[in-house]
Amino acid sequence: MAKSNLISPHGSDDLKILLLEGKQREEELKRAESLPKLVMTSRETGDLIMLGIGGFTPLEGFMGQADWKGICADMKMANGLFWPIPVTLSHDEQLSPGTEVCLVSGETKEIMGTMKVTESYQIDKEFECKSVFKTADAEHPGVQKVMSQKAWNIAGPVKVLSESYFPEEFSMVYQRPSESRKIFEERGWRTVAALQLRNPMHRSHEYLAKIASEVSDGLYIHQLVGKLKPGDIPADVRVRCINTLVENYFVKDRVVMGGYPLDMRYGGPREGLLHAVFRQNFGCTHMIIGRDHAGVGDYYGPFDAQQIFFELWEGALECKMLPIDWTFWCYKCGGMVSMKTCPHGREDRLFLSGTALRKSLSEGGDIPAEFSRPEILAILREYYAGIKEEDKVEIKMHGHATGDAEKKISK
C-alpha cells in the first residue's frame, strides 16, 4: 500500500476510531440498554462523537484527573502529549472503578455509547476556567458550561454507538476524518488549510479563505454544526449561506466543505489550538488564525490566538498556523485589504464581523453592500424576518466587532 502524502493524525500513526458499526454495534447497543444511564450535556455529546469518529485522536475516552490537571496547567497530558483543553464528562455522583455505564444524550435521549469507569474525581472549576478561558467571569459562555458541570468527573474508555442527528440533518457537510482524508488523498493535496467557521461567511472570511487558497493545495471550509450561545445564527442557516457562497464564488476543485459536531467553547487562544489539533486529524496541515479566533466579547486580545501558537514548544503540534492580519474593506483601495496592505486611515475602512452583522440584521438595520455577498444577505434577512419578537436576543457589540480595538494596534 502506497504511503499517504497527508499529515499524520495528532500523536498517532493512524486515526483512533471508537465508533462501532455493524454487528459489533448491535451487540453493544443491546448490552447498553441494561446498564445504568449517565445523561450527557450537548457539549459532552459532541465530544463523544468526536472521540468516536477519530476527531480527537489519540484519545480513547474521557480524561482522568492527571490529564485534566496537566492540560489545565501546562497543556500536556500525563504522558506528555500536547492537548489544550480538557475533554471531560461530569456526573452527580461518584462511580467505582470498573462500573460500566450507558451514555445518553440529554438532548435527544438517544443511547450514544458506553463507558467503563476507571476513575471518579472532583475538580477546581475556577482553576479550569482561569487556565482555559483566562477568566472565571460568569458572563463568559465557556465558563458557564464548566461551572454548570456536575460534582464529579467520570473518566474511562468509551465505545461510541451513534453520531446523533448530524449525518442526516447536515448531510451536505458532516464528515468523519476518514472521509475528508480520502478526498484530500484523491485530489493529491499535500498542504490543506482549514478555515474554522461558526458564522455565515462575510467578505472578511471569504478574503481569508482565498488568501489560504493561494498558498495551499486546497482549502477545507470546516463548519461547526453543534450548539452556539443564544443570539448566534443556527447551524442550518449558516450551512445554507456558506454552501451558496462556495457555489458562486469559489473554484470547485480547490475547496472541500465539511461539518463537525462540537459545541463552541468560546475559549479564544486555547480553543484555537484545539481547532488545529482536530483539523490535523481531519488531514489539514495548516489552521487559518485571524482576528479574535474563537473569541467572545472582549475577553481576549484580537491576536491572542495567534500569539499562543508562537509559544508552543517544538514538536507540540504538527498542524501549523496560517496567521492573517486584521482584514477589512477599504473604500479608497476599492476592495478587501489588511493592516499589512492598506495605507489609508480608519475613516476609509469598513470593519467586518459576525457580531456586527448579526446585530444589524436583528435590528432591521441597513447592511453595506461591501459587508457580504447579496445572496448571503438575502438568506440572513429571511431568517431574521422569521424570528418572533419574544425570541429575539440582545446582541452586544465589543471592540473587535466595531474596529475600536484596531486603534490600539494601528498606531
Mean pLDDT value of segment 281-302: 95
Please say whether the structural domain 22-163 has been given the CATH code 3.10.400.10: yes
pLDDT of 369 reads: 83
CA distance 393 to 387: 10
Q: Answer whether residue 400 shows pLDDT above 60.
A: no
Evaluate whether 158 touches 182 at the Cβ level (below 8 Å). no
Could you report the per-residue pLDDT of 46-64, keeping only the tens digit for each? 999 999 999 999 999 999 9
Q: Which of 43, 181, 198, 349 is catalytic?
A: 198
β-pairing verdict for 255-260 and 218-224: parallel
CA distances from 255 to 189, 192, 322, 324, 335 (A): 11, 9, 17, 19, 22
**What confidence category does residue 262 fall into, taking pLDDT thresholds of 50, 70 and 90?**
very high
**Greater model confidence, 159 or 390:** 159
Torsion (CA) 158, 160, 166, 171 in degrees, nearest 10: 130
Q: Answer whether residue 410 shows pLDDT above 60.
A: no
| DSSP 8-state code for residue 173 | T
**What confidence category does residue 354 fall into, taking pLDDT thresholds of 50, 70 and 90?**
low
pLDDT of 239 reads: 87
* Phi/psi of residue 56, nearest 5 degrees: -105, 25
pLDDT of 206 reads: 92
Retrieve residue 3's grid coordinates.
Answer: 504511503
Could you report the per-residue pLDDT of 132-177, keeping only the tens digit for each? 999 999 999 999 999 999 999 999 999 999 999 999 999 999 999 9
pLDDT of 394 reads: 55
**What confidence category does residue 372 fall into, taking pLDDT thresholds of 50, 70 and 90?**
confident
CB atoms within 10 A of CB 104: 18
pLDDT of 409 reads: 38
Model pTM greater than 0.85? Answer: yes
pLDDT of 255 reads: 97
Mean pLDDT value of segment 371-382: 89
First CA to last CA across the chain, in angstroms? 56
pLDDT of 1 reads: 47
Evaluate whether 17 touches 178 at the Cβ level (below 8 Å). yes
**What confidence category does residue 411 fall into, taking pLDDT thresholds of 50, 70 and 90?**
very low
Could you report the per-residue pLDDT of 205-255, keeping only the tens digit for each? 899 999 999 999 999 999 999 988 777 888 888 889 988 999 999 998 999
Q: Check if 176 is active-site.
A: no
Q: Which of 43, 176, 199, 373 is catalytic?
A: 199
**What confidence category does residue 371 fall into, taking pLDDT thresholds of 50, 70 and 90?**
confident
User: Considering only 208-212, 299-303, 350-354, which range has the smallest mean pLDDT?
Assistant: 350-354
pLDDT of 339 reads: 92
Query: Pick from 26, 63, 165: which is nearest to 108 by CA?
Result: 165
**Greater model confidence, 249 or 371:** 249
DSSP 85-98: S----EESS---TT
CA distance 38 to 40: 6
Could you report the per-residue pLDDT of 87-97, keeping only the tens digit for each? 999 999 999 99
**What confidence category does residue 407 fall into, taking pLDDT thresholds of 50, 70 and 90?**
very low
CB atoms within 10 A of CB 121: 16
CA distance 94 to 91: 7
**Greater model confidence, 82 or 389:** 82
Mean pLDDT value of segment 113-131: 98
The partner residues of 257 in beta bridges, in order of sequence, read 221
Q: Which long-range contacts (CB under 8 A, 24 or more apart) does 356-359 make?
A: 356/397, 356/401, 356/402, 357/199, 357/200, 357/202, 358/199, 358/231, 358/232, 358/233, 358/395, 359/395, 359/397, 359/401
Q: Answer whether residue 184 shows pLDDT above 50.
A: yes
Evaluate whether 121 touches 97 at the Cβ level (below 8 Å). no
Between CA 351 and CA 292, with CA 331 as vertex, the angle to 5 degrees is: 20
pLDDT of 199 reads: 80
pLDDT of 393 reads: 53
Mean pLDDT value of segment 322-329: 92
Residue that the C-alpha cell 478561558 belongs to? 133
Evaluate whether 205 touches 197 at the Cβ level (below 8 Å). yes
What mean pLDDT is reported for the chain?
A: 91
Percent of the chain with pLDDT over 70: 93
Evaluate whether 117 touches 100 at the Cβ level (below 8 Å). yes
CA distance 25 to 162: 9
Q: Check if 198 is active-site.
A: yes
Evaluate whether 54 touches 80 at the Cβ level (below 8 Å). no
pLDDT of 360 reads: 76
pLDDT of 289 reads: 96
Q: Answer whether residue 103 shows pLDDT above 80.
A: yes
Q: Answer whether residue 401 shows pLDDT above 50.
A: no
CA distance 208 to 337: 10
